[in-house]
Amino acid sequence: MLPREHGAYSQMAMPLVTSLVVARASRPAVFIATAVVCGFLAHEPLLLLLGGRGVRARQAMGARARFWFATTFLTMFAAGVAAFWLTSAAARWSFVLPLVPAAWVGAAALSSQEKRASTEIAVALAFALTAFPICLSAGVELDIAASVASVFASVYVTGVLCVRALVLGRRGGGNRAASRATRFALIVVAAGSALGMAIAVSRARLPGATLTAATPGLATAVVLATGLRRAPLKTVGWSLALMSATAALILIGAAWSL
């Protein structure tokens, strides 16, 4: 019943760990993190029940999947309600930010469109934007919450585009046009993210560590996708995960030094 998309574990964990450390694991922050983890764990049994793993798998493990989905979904809902209740009224708006892409992911699962680029980007944004409610529920300043969210959002989206560009260039003989278009989108997103962060930092809208934390991940995604020598996808995945961990350490160090 555990999710099979191994890259998603890192996507979920890094923003959660970073935000929890920055928020010093306040009660509402812990409840939000619990809701996110349970939502993540509900994915595989839901996919199995919807037939995404095949008819035979649903017949063989349907009862177990129903139990796991009911357990994780109810826990997610209860933790989310508790977190919302414990969060101050002034910060409750932040819950909407991760819920919008999460709703997109749920709709994609129901319509069997999970492998689309838009769905994978929505997953990345949903995990990254959890930094807002986790941090704000603990009274952390908005600029720090925005720093954590923007770093992981930019690194994750460019990571998704990097992997898709490489897969499109290899699978089934390769689709050069689609791979080239995806690489171009990756470069635009990476450059736009870096420029936007630089402007925000120069105007004191974001902490200086924001650009420092995002740059290794953005640069790695561009290099891996555009390099003359195509790295194995496993190497690409581990490299992107390492850059996420690097970003997390920089953000945590910067927040705790304030």
The confidence score (pLDDT) of residue 256 equals 82
Give the DSSP per-residue string, 92-127: GGGGHHHHHHHHHHHHHHHTT-TTSHHHHHHHHHHH
Given phi > 0 = left and psi -120 to 50 = alpha, else beta, which region is 57?
A: alpha
Burial tier of 242 (Cβ tally within 10 Å: 0-12, 13-18, 19+): middle
The confidence score (pLDDT) of residue 173 equals 64
146 with 132: CB under 8 angstroms? yes
43 with 3: CB under 8 angstroms? yes
**Residue 189 to residues 10, 155, 194, Cα–Cα distance (Å):** 21, 10, 8
Domain boundaries, the chain: 1-139, 141-258
Question: In which element (H, E) is residue 49 found?
Answer: helix 27-49
* Pair of tokens at residue 165: 């560009």
The confidence score (pLDDT) of residue 247 equals 96
The confidence score (pLDDT) of residue 89 equals 94
Tens of pLDDT, residue by residue, the chain (258 residues): 677 776 788 899 999 999 999 999 899 999 999 999 999 998 888 888 887 777 777 777 778 888 999 999 999 999 999 999 999 999 999 999 999 999 998 888 888 777 788 899 999 999 999 999 999 999 999 999 999 999 999 999 999 999 999 988 877 667 888 889 999 999 999 999 999 999 999 999 999 999 999 999 999 999 999 886 777 888 898 999 999 999 999 999 998 876
pTM above 0.75, yes or no: yes
* Pair of tokens at residue 107: 């709709």
* Pair of tokens at residue 164: 């898709």
